[in-house]
Structures are given as C-alpha cells and as structure tokens.
Chain A
C-alpha cells in the first residue's frame, strides 16, 4: 500500500511536470511565437531602409528649379538620456528655434516627459549646420535620421508654377498645387529595404543571406520653362507692380507654335519652402486658376472670328459707329466717349472701339460667336499639366441675348483665365492652330529612361489668310494705338491692350480695373506670345498706360535674349 502511494505520487508529479513543460512550450510556440520570432529576427538580421529620393524639377536647360536638400530628424532614445529633461530642453531650444526659444523649450520638455515612449522625434528637417551644433554638445541619447527637404534655388518667382510639398493626413509627403500636385505620383518614389544576416557584433555576415527590395527613385521632370525668361518676367513684374501701384499681376509667356510654357509668374507669391507661413489664398496660380473679364484684348478674337466667317473685311466700314448704341435697356459707349464714324475694322481695333465691336458682333451673330468661343477653347480647361487649373463655364447658348452678344464682342460679361486668353491668341500667332499648353516636356525615370511629351495641336481653327489679316490689324493697333509711345522701335509687334472693369455685387466698379496687354513678336514669325495682367493699377486705370509699357519692357529683354533684331 505504502509503495503504491509512492508510485501514484511520482506518477502525478511527472504528469504535473509534463503539463508544466507542455504549457511552457505552448506559451513559447503559440502564444509568444510572434514576439520571440521578432526578437530572434532582430538578433539575427539587420535592416536598412533605402530612402527614395523625390524627383527633381528641372528648367529646359537642365538646371534645377526644385531639387532636394539633405536634412535630419532629431530623435531621443529616452532610456539612454542621462541628463535632466529640463536642462536638456533648455540646451536644445536655442539651437532648434532661436526666434521662439520659450515655445520650443516647452514643446521639448513635453515630448521628453512622455514616459510611455522609448523613442521620440524631437524635430524634423533640421539643417546640416544645426546637426553639427547639436553633435558638438555630446549629449547621450540623441540621434539623427536622414530626411529630404525640397529646395528652390531660384527662390519664390516660380512658386505658383511649381507648387509645394506638404504632408497628407497620414503624415506622408504629398505635392500640392502646380507641378508638385499634378505630377505627385511620378515625383514621389518608393523606399526600398535591405536585410542582411549579422554577427554578434552587428557586422554583416558576408556569406549570410541578403534580402533586398529595391527602392524606386522619383521621376525627374524636365520642363519647358526657360529660366532666363522666368527670371526676367519675375523681376519685371515686381518692378511693374511697384511702378503702377497694382494689387497683383501675372505674366505668361508661351511658344505659340507648340504651346510650351516658357515662363509663368504671378505676384504676390509665397516661398514654397515655408508655405505654411503664408496665407492659403496665395497658393493657387492666378494665371490658371483665377478668372477675369478680359476686356478689349478679347476684341481680337471676335474680330478674327468675323474675318474668318467673311462677315467683315479689314476695310469694311462701320456705319453704326457715330455714337453710343442702345441695346435692350443698356447704352454701349466707347472707353473715352470719342466716336469715329465710318471707321474701318482696322481702325475699330486701333481705337479699341466698343461700338465698332458691337457692329462686328451683330454681323457674326450669337450662333457663330458661340461656335468660335468654343473653337478657341473657352469654357473648358486647356488641359495644362498644372494641378490648380480652373475653367469658368460659358453661359449656355440658349441664354444669350442681344446684350450678351454686344458686351461679349468687347470682352465684357464673359470670364476666362489668363491661360485661356493666351492660348486663344496663340491661334492667331501660329496660323490658326489651337495648342494644348504644357509645362513638362520630358519625364526621366531610372527604370524606364526618358519619355518625351510632344506638343498637341488642333488644326483649322482659323484660316491662314484670316490670321494674317488680324495680325496686320494688331500690328497697326500697336504702331498707331494708345500704347505706341512705349513700343520698342523697329520691331513688328502684334498686340492689343485691355482695360476691364471688375464686376462687384451685380455691377461694375467704377474705379477698379484689370489692365492687360496680349501680343506676340516678331509678328511675322512669332517667337513668343505674352500676356501681362495688372489688377487695380493706381497710377492709371488703363492698360495702355500700365500693362502695355510693362509688356514692351519685358519684350525688349526677350528680344535681346533671343537675339531678335529690329526691322
């Protein structure tokens, strides 16, 4: 009996031991297998992230408009920090935020006191010099991780065109506005991972296993932007806005035969490197996102439509131009209330005669006018490769009355973007083709090589003979019109001034205007088509005294740059 009890005891004892061993094994193999495998992997493998570089944006000559600058993330490994958190924050704050040390110190203390964390980021995007200064303090527990920051060697002059890089709701980098927004997928790459077996000292084992997931670098964009043209228009616009006391302004330069944008600038602008310090209303590109009533610059489009339809000729006499016109309940007057009875169509453009243009509009009729507005690409986006393009809608044809026909013929009551305007004038400049404006001409990728983007043209918008006639009328308007005093001597320039009133709460503001000038040169074989717009100039409300001289000022520089000789 005694011996039987001992056997049972041993039997139960071994069963208990067995259960304990099985339980422990179950805990290791099933319950903690994930954690243990991770620990084992960490002991055995070393992983490196291979960061992918965001693609650069280059000017047409290959020089960078946007490149990448190396910056660092400063982090703290809390178990390794030996200094008092308050002292540490006081030491770091003046280096990280010299202009607001107190706020930075408070922020650092708060982060360092996060007891539930081991690794905490202290500040992103610190510069190389800041990193060196912090390293010189020799503080245990601080470390750095490499990051990239966008840099803009040419400053803010191309801010609207380029856009900026911010963070999305998940904290990932994302391009907004302009090229950064439109080409975000192409520009951002995909980080790779390199995993290697390591020895006890952490060095890679040469014959060990290597697992590599290759990084994909962001694609590089080569633009059509000529950085000299961009620099010239940026400087001249700033000068012009100061000289004429305008609220804001834009200059757009395009190659009329291809639609390649050579330069595009607006003022005021913002610094894309510190975009968050600026008002959000500055982010959209006014040249493509904001609409305006074009005023008299629009007359060349209506006149070219009438010439193309052969309802008028350059020498056609206006027999309704001797005084104001009453249409519906409105009276149409000329801008200076001077009237030119029996003026020819060439003179109508030269004098920028609203009454003369009503005559042309009536000859053309609503049906044809609407058709030509559509042909010139108005009422729909141009398709430019910029994220912020907007397109005001054309009012449905059935809603058009006689007064709409009359006012549209001299550019009132119709809204377009500056880009739509320059694109429509390019039809005259290039012999009748509608171009699709574009900014990026090449996309370069490490894997796929170079992809060229070719110009897209739509033929047959205007007849070649029509474009020659309207060009001559525009040359005459420049040579003999209100802005002839500012024209560079010896050059044949086709252009048209515009002074549009600004609609405010259902009526037109009597004092505020948008002054503009659109034109191309040399008139017979245009190298560029350019549009200058100035909002609310105070020195004079007229386009002929503000936007036109600024246009000619820029044109003189462009003639020298392109080596275009007078005569």
Chain B
C-alpha cells in the first residue's frame, strides 16, 4: 500500500516535467522559426535592394557605353576624326639597314 502512494507522485512529476519540457521546446522552436522568418524577410529585402542597384548600374553602363554618346563626348572634348591613315608596309625600313653595316673601327 505504501509503495503505491510513492509511485503516483513520481509519475505525476514525470508527466508534468515532460509536458513542461515539450512546451518549452515548442516555444523555443516557434521563437526560432519566427526569428528566422523575420531574418529571411530582411534578407529578401536586401536581395531586392541589391538587384535594384544592379539594374540601375546596368542601365547606366548601357547609356554610357553607346557609340552615339561616346562620339558626342569626343566632339565636346575637341577630338576630330583622323583624315589620313598611313599603312605601314612589311618592307624593312631604311634605318634598320645600318645594323648590317660593318662596325666602325
């Protein structure tokens, strides 16, 4: 009869502890999930901002790199088109022939 009295509170304590522990675990997990959800939201916002900046920079590159803009900028800077083009031939230039001359003594 004594043994029975002793066992019951132990079981109650065990069950209560288990319930408390499980409740705490759930609380911690829920908290973590909520925090991670918030973090994920922040990261998504950051990614969107970076993507936006990337788009703006790409648009700027496209505009700055256009030949019509470069041409008008060159004109504004006073540059002019080359009027005559000289092509170098594959013949040996005259100046190089001196290397074959005997050394002066």
Residues of A within 8 A of B33 (CB): 205-207
Q: Are B37 and A203 in contact (CB under 8 A)?
A: yes
Instruction: Determine if B46 is an interface residue (Cβ-Cβ < 8 Å).
Output: no
Question: Which residue of chain B has the shortest Cβ distance to A146 in the bound complex?
Answer: B52
Q: Which B residues are closer than 8 A to A by beta carbons?
A: 33, 36-38, 40-41, 52, 55-56, 58-59, 62-63, 65-68, 71, 82, 85, 87
Residues of the A chain whose Cβ atoms lie less than 8 Å from the Cβ of B52: 70
Q: Contacts A203-B38, A206-B33 given; indicate if A231 touches B71 (C-beta within 8 A).
A: yes
Residues of A within 8 A of B71 (CB): 231, 235
Looking across the interface, which residue of chain B has its beta carbon closest to that of A208? Answer: B37
Q: Would B59 and A67 count as touching, CB distance under 8 A? A: yes
Chain B residues with CB below 8 A from A151, complex form: 59, 62-63
Residue of A whose beta carbon sits closest to that of B82: A560
* Distance in angstroms between the alpha carbons of A206 and B34 in the assembled complex: 8
CB–CB A63/B65 < 8 A: yes
Interfacial chain A residues near B62, Cβ < 8 Å: 63-64, 67, 151, 153
> CB of A87 within 8 A of chain B?
no
List residues 46-87 of chain A with CB under 8 A from any CB of chain B: 63-64, 67, 69-70
Counting CB contacts under 8 A, is A188 at the interface?
no
Of B37, B38, B52, most buried by chain A (CB within 10 Å of CB) is: B37
Beyond known contacts A205-B37, A206-B33: 4 more, CB 8 A cutoff: A199-B37, A204-B41, A205-B33, A566-B87
Give how many A residues have a beta carbon under 8 Å from the other chain's beta carbons: 24
Determine how close the nearest CB of chain B comes to the CB of A226; give it in whole angstroms: 11
A220: min CB distance to chain B, Å: 13
Chain B residues whose C-beta falls within 8 Å of the C-beta of A199 in the assembled complex? 37
A-B contact count (CB 8 A): 49
Residue of B nearest to A204 (CB): B37
In the docked arrangement, what's the CA distance between A28 and B4, Å? Answer: 55
A interface residues with partner B (beta carbon < 8 Å): 63-64, 67, 69-70, 128, 151, 153-155, 157, 199, 203-207, 227-228, 231, 235, 560, 565-566
Instruction: Give bound CA distance, A92 to B85, whole Å.
Output: 56
Residues in A with CB closer than 8 Å to B68 are: 154-155, 157, 231
Q: Which residue of A lies closest to B44 (CB)?
A: A204
In the bound complex, do residue A228 and residue B37 qualify as a contact, i.e. CB atoms below 8 Å apart? no
B58: A residues at CB distance < 8 A:
67
15 contacts between A and B (CB under 8 A): A67-B58, A69-B59, A70-B56, A151-B63, A153-B63, A153-B66, A203-B37, A203-B38, A205-B33, A206-B33, A206-B36, A206-B37, A231-B67, A231-B71, A560-B85
- B36 contacts A70, CB within 8 Å? no
In chain B, what residue has the closest Cβ to A156?
B68
A250 to B65, CA, bound (A): 26
Considering the complex, give the chain B residue whose CB is closest to the CB of A206: B37
A204-B85 contact given A67-B62, A70-B59, A231-B67, CB 8 Å threshold = no
